[in-house]
Amino acid sequence: MTRLTLTAAILRRKLLQALTCGGCSLSLSLSLSLSRQRKPHVATLKPVSKSDRLGQLILEEPSELGSDEMEVELAPTENQKSEQELEEFQRVVSMLHPHGNADAAGDCRREAAVEIRRMAKEDADARETLAMLGAIPPLIGMLDAELDLDSQITALYALLNLAIGNDMNKAAIVKAGAVHKMLRLIRPESPPEVHNPLSEAIVANFLSLSALDANKQIIGLSGAVPFLIKSLRQNKNCRQDALRALFNLSIVATNSQHLIESGIIDTLLTAIGDMEVTDHALATLSNLVASSAEARQRLTRANDSIPILIDVLGWTDASSCQEKSAYVLMVMAHKSHADRAAMSEAGISGALLELTLIGTPLAQKRASRILQMMRSKKGKEISESSFAVSAPMTVEGKGKAKVEEVAGEMSDEKMAVKQLVQQSLHCNMRRIARRANLPEEIMPVEHLNKVLAVSSTSKSLPF
């Protein structure tokens, strides 16, 4: 009975000792086994003796951890991970098409929208995969008015995350009819200055979708402009998103008419002064005045529009706003003599002179261009008036004396005006030098003349 209880290892050792003589065969079998472990096995026709074969089989004891191949199979591969993620995406998308009673189906769809929002938040591959699996149409279907508010908001933010950085998804969302469904969700009776999560989610989606050029005109024609302007005026939580969406729409010239008719000019002028939105407000205004004559006319007729824009030229701590305001004034001065006269009456010269000295290079260029346009027009008027005075100088007798007397009076008036202009220039230069922290002696009037004398004669506007 004791022999039957021997372990397999002891039995192998007994057999090895019985078959080997003096340990030579054992060493030979050991060397053969080690060489086979180092080299790949190649089938040969050489016969193997029974003793060597038995010794090899005895020495090949299995390891406790198993072979390397077993360890690779146990660890999940990249393909397996991809398959698991794909199965998870398919499961979530299938939850958007639930079966059963209405309450259970609504909860299931809402849970799926939450999962899609989480998956697509920071994973570009997940956005693409979920869209390819068909997640967009059922999410847009959740925007129907009969569903509860939480489901609608959750679906909106899921769509928003799917559209992040993915132009194909942006186009697919608009093509599936999301714009009109979002507009049907708007509740006009909502009071102003009240936190409205649904409106804020809609504005965020309009901002994301309007970033794609192919969607700009579709959104502009859809009737979304009045809603965005109202959100800019009334909802402080999403006014920046609304303004940026309006800026995206203003890039397309065909949207200018809808923006102007909705009262965007007055809204943008009202927003100027709030440093959170002034830069985008001026950028939107720049697009409008550059592409639409009606926008320039509306801006001219608006109350205090020119003084507001001139005041921005003095914002030394907001150089970007200075550049954009100078661009708007430059376009208006280039297009209309009446606007140049209004700018002159509002005292734009001092602000422009200061900007040419201490502004950014782009602001200096635009300010110099405005000064050039105003100076060239003034010089034209002076030459015409001088021709009218000197033309009758050939009259003889009393008429000649009378004309000379008028000419003398005009010369005295011109000299007085010239002195006043020189005094004003000196005062302005001293004030500008003080604001620039520069000594007055290094800012003579001759330098001002060099600044005003713009060498370029091109009529093209510096953009």
Question: What pLDDT score was predicted for residue 187?
Answer: 73
Question: What pLDDT score was predicted for residue 449?
Answer: 52
- Whether residue 295 is contained in a domain is answered as no
> Which residue bears the tokens 């004791």?
2
Between CA 243 and CA 203 the distance in angstroms is: 10
SS3 187: coil
Residue 230: name the closest of 215, 217, 245, 219 by CA: 245
Question: What pLDDT score was predicted for residue 377?
Answer: 56
pTM of the model: 0.68
Question: What pLDDT score was predicted for residue 325?
Answer: 96
- Whether residue 426 is contained in a domain is answered as yes
Q: Do 279 and 320 contact (CB within 8 A), yes or no?
A: yes
Question: What pLDDT score was predicted for residue 16?
Answer: 55
Q: In whole angstroms, what separates CA 69 from the centre of its chain?
A: 51
- Whether residue 103 is contained in a domain is answered as no
Buried b (16+ CB within 10 A) or exposed e, 92-127: bbebbebeeeeeeebebbbebbbbbbebbeeeeebb
- Whether residue 422 is contained in a domain is answered as yes
Could you tell me the sign of the dihedral formed by the alpha carbons of 61, 65, 66, 69, in that order? negative
Question: What pLDDT score was predicted for residue 418?
Answer: 55
Between CA 46 and CA 200 the distance in angstroms is: 82
**Range of 422's domain?**
305-390+414-463
> Which residue bears the tokens 């009456």?
345
- Whether residue 346 is contained in a domain is answered as yes
Question: What pLDDT score was predicted for residue 236?
Answer: 86
Question: What pLDDT score was predicted for residue 196?
Answer: 85
- Counted domains in the chain: 1
- Whether residue 364 is contained in a domain is answered as yes
**Which whole-number Å values give the CA distances from 262 to 118, 157, 301, in the listed order?**
37, 27, 16
- Whether residue 323 is contained in a domain is answered as yes
**Residue at 443: amino acid letter:** M
Question: What six digits make up the tokens of 116?
Answer: 């899609």
- Whether residue 123 is contained in a domain is answered as no
Mean pLDDT in consecutive groups of 10 residues from the start of the chain, 463 residues: 51 57 46 47 48 50 44 55 86 84 78 94 93 95 84 95 96 96 80 73 96 96 94 90 96 94 95 93 96 94 93 93 96 92 91 92 94 71 36 38 41 51 60 56 50 43 46
Question: What pLDDT score was predicted for residue 433?
Answer: 59
Question: What pLDDT score was predicted for residue 106?
Answer: 79
